[in-house]
Structure 1
Amino acid sequence: MVQGTGRYRLRGRVLRPARRAGWQYIANRGRPAGRRSEPGRHPAAYSRLAIHPANHAPRLPTSADQRRVSGSMANAANAAIELTHLHFHWPRQQQACIDIPDFTVAAGERVFLHGPSGAGKSTLLGLLGGVATPQRGAIRLLGTDITRLPDAGRNRFRADHIGFIFQQFNLLPWLSALDNAMLPCTFSVRRRQRAGDPGAQARRLFAQLDLSPDLWNRPASELSVGQQQRVAAARALIGRPEILIADEPTSALDAPRQQAFTELLLAEAGAVDAALLFVSHDERLATHFDRSVALADINRSARERS
């Protein structure tokens, strides 16, 4: 901590809290370490924390029946994520891009959320991460309505309870893989305590994620896309957060590696009993999950635009 500034110093670099975005170390404009930002992206998808957020499961009677059954089961348990009457539109836009009457993910449940580009996936994940606030409705995470928290409270809640895997990973290029994985424990006392020994847990996660030990101390900028992906997964899992949110984490991988990574992520999420919301447009991955939800089924605005 840099005395009197509200800033933290890591490896000689000062990390400052962004005004609304949480910690600047993950506000990397949504790109892998060492890459230029992608043109044409809506700034809201990246600049605030750089986060971007399927109902027909293995062909049960009907999608409507499956939604009712899944919803009642989730409500019977402790809900990790509960959205109620959620309404959000961007400034100077009259039409809502998010209009969700209700949506619940139970503690420990693994949900696959899919939808085409423009359906509101990134906006929804921004709301879940607390980097945007809705005009109406409630977002209850682990029983806490984060819409009622101040900016600093949402940032703290996110750091303590949510692990994100970003589409473009957002690693700090000058830090080693090991230091990148341990970053959440730098900013969250709770996750540091739950990790016990952050270095030991990071190394265990790397081993489980099949990241070779000779890469652990290598700067993130020198890692391949697949290697960066594993580091990002370890960063999300360290400290056993109760909620994991993965935004298109397999989009840069070929089909065999997509399957392998998804299975590894599900196994690690199950080991810490975390709820997992996995966002992707690739519906081939849906069979791995407890439930598959089409965003258009829960977001009335997406249905109206389609």
Structure 2
Amino acid sequence: MSDDCMQRFLFEGLDIRGVRVRLTGAWQSMLRGRGYGPVVARLLGEVTVVTLMVGGQLKQPGRLTAQVRGNGALSLLVVDCDQQLRLRGMATAPSDLAEAPLPELIGDGHLVITLLPDTAATPYQSVVPLEGATVAEVFEHFLEQSEQQPTALWLAADGDTASGLFLQKLPGADARDADGWARVCQLAGTVTPDELKRLDTETLLTRLFHEEMQAGGVRVFDPVEPRHHCPRDEDKVRRLVVSLGRAEVESILAEKGELHIHDDMCNHDYRFRPEDIARLFGDPPGSVH
């Protein structure tokens, strides 16, 4: 089984659902060539895990994009997840960003959640103020407000692994066991960042919820494999260049000798020389000197 794994589970006697995510190869691929410092990598990893948890449970297929953005030193964390659990993401921040509560790093900021269902022409978007000192607290607050159900998150990330645990209380939980939610959250709260990053799902759940697992009260679903997916798109960039207009493009060429476009989201570079531009605008071969 791949080290990149999302696995849902259900406390069947308690009406509490959960998700475990652990990313290694996909996460390292997303970081490759970025040069992020430890703080930026950790925060982007946490947002990546939560986006996957939410995007992997959508009631209707679609693409989910989560953005934490503001006017502070850390101005943007953005992660995108489609229905095939293909991930891409980036951060905008200095590499030497120091540890501090999230609101201090983001400044005057918002959480922006955009959902584009496969069957819709326009996306649904929620923009809410940041509530909480950590990524987990910000998303807990958002999910409780948007889904009207208590939600709890534990997240951990570094340059090698991004992982997390999600719990949500379903509408019938109190009728099943009035203390069930509090008890399960108390047990989950004993998890350590090292356990989140290191243990496989079955081992982690057994460590946290030993009695429930032993009694067969936790149904663990088959794992699914997320992956980092951000390929080059030459055609899209060519269309962008043409949309700039020939006068604008030739002005850039005159100043810099080439047109350089950097795709921030996927970390790809596209370079166009004068002969490339001539071909784009339909000049015949040999017309560029």
Higher helix share: 1
Q: Per residue, is there more strand in 1 or in 2?
A: 2
Asked if these proteins are the same fold (TM beyond 0.5), I'd say no
The TM-score with structure 1 as length reference comes to 0.29
TM-score (norm 2): 0.30
